[in-house]
Amino acid sequence: MSKILEMGYSPCPNDTFIFHALASGAISLDPYKLNITLADVEELNSLARAGKMDICKVSVHAAAHIMNDYILLRAGGAMGRGVGPLLLTREPCTIEALNGKRVAIPGRNTTANLLFNLMCREAGIQVEIVELVFDKIMPAIASGEVEAGVVIHEGRFTYHGLGLSKISDLGKWWEDFSGLPIPLGSIAIRRSLGADVADLINSAIRRSLTLSQVDPSEAWPYIKEHAQEMDDNVVNEHIETFVTDYSMDVGEEGEKAVTRLLNEAAKMDSIKLPNQPFFIPE
C-alpha cells in the first residue's frame, strides 16, 4: 500500500517547471505517493509552520521558524544573483523618503519582507507595513493605496507596464550587503521522515528538473495551466531567472547564503535556531 506524502509548492512557472515530472507521475517514488497542494508562497509558509506539509517550498525567512521540525533539501529551491524582489513606487524617490509611509509586502514570513526589513534597518527608517497577496501589490501602488511595495515573482518583468519606478533591487542589495547570492526559497522536509526519504525526494526533484530541462515542451501545458494570464515570454523569463544551477544543488556557496539569511531572520524575529544541520548531507 502506498504511503501518502503531503507536498506543497507554488503555481509559479519556476516551481511547476521543476516539479512537473513528479506531479505527472513520470517519476516513481514507490512506495510513496504525493498529494500536491499548489498555493501562494505565504500560504505555503503558514502550512509548513502549522506542520501540515511533509515536503514544502518555503521562504528562507519562514524556514527559520520551522528548523526544529524540518530540514532543507539541496534541490528544488530558488536562489541566484539578480533575482531578488523589487521595491517599487509610483514616482522615483530614495529609500529614506519612505520613512513613515505605507509599504505593501507579500507576507510577513516571506524572504522579501525580511530583506526589506534589513534594508530599512540599515537605512535607519521605519514604515507602516501593509500585507497583500503578491499579485495585488502593483495595482495598490499604482492606485495610491500604498506609497510603495515589495514585488516578487513576475512583477520584476512587468512593472514598467503600470508606469512604476524601481527604487531598489533587494536581491542586489543583499548581494552587496552579504557578498552572497540571494536565497529566496528552499524545499523543507520533515526531519521525522528520516534521511532515506529525504534523499529519495531530493533525488526525485533533481530527476524531475532534469526532465524539464531536456524537454521543456513536456512541462509546458502544466506550467501554462497554473500561470493564469501570464504572457508566454514572461513565463519563459520567469523560468530562466528563477531556475538556476542552485535549483539542482545549493552547493557550498548556497549553503553559506541560506545560513546567513537564516541567522538574519533569527535575529530579526528573536528566535533561536536549532543546533542541528540545516541541510541534508551531499
pLDDT of amino acid 229: 65
Residue partners of 71: CB distance under 8 A and separation at least 6: 188, 189, 191, 198, 276, 277, 278, 279, 280
pLDDT of amino acid 83: 86
Q: How many CA atoms lie within 13 A of 167 on its CB side?
A: 22
Q: Could you tell me the three cell numbers for 125?
A: 527608517
Radius of gyration of the chain (CA): 18
Instruction: Assess contact for 84 and 113: CB atoms under 8 A.
Output: no
The identity of residue 40, as a single letter, is D
Single pTM value for the model: 0.91
The torsion angle over the Cα atoms of residues 96, 112, 11 and 28, rounded to 10 degrees, is: 160
**Which sequence spans correspond to the domains of the chain?**
3-80+182-269, 86-178
pLDDT of amino acid 134: 81
pLDDT of amino acid 76: 98
In this structure, which topology does domain 86-178 adopt according to CATH?
D-Maltodextrin-Binding Protein; domain 2 (3.40.190)
pLDDT of amino acid 32: 95
Which residues are part of the catalytic machinery? 153
Residue partners of 157: CB distance under 8 A and separation at least 6: 234, 237, 238, 241
28-39 per-position pLDDT tens digit: 999 999 999 999
Domains 3-80+182-269 and 86-178 share a fold: yes
pLDDT of amino acid 84: 86
pLDDT of amino acid 160: 80
- Among 75, 82, 14, smallest CA distance to 254 is for 75
pLDDT of amino acid 4: 96
Q: In which residue ranges of the chain is pLDDT below 70?
A: 1, 229
Instruction: Assess contact for 258 and 249: CB atoms under 8 A.
Output: no
pLDDT of amino acid 1: 62
Domain 3-80+182-269 of CATH type 1.10.3720.10: no
pLDDT of amino acid 3: 93
Q: DSSP assignment, residue 278?
A: S
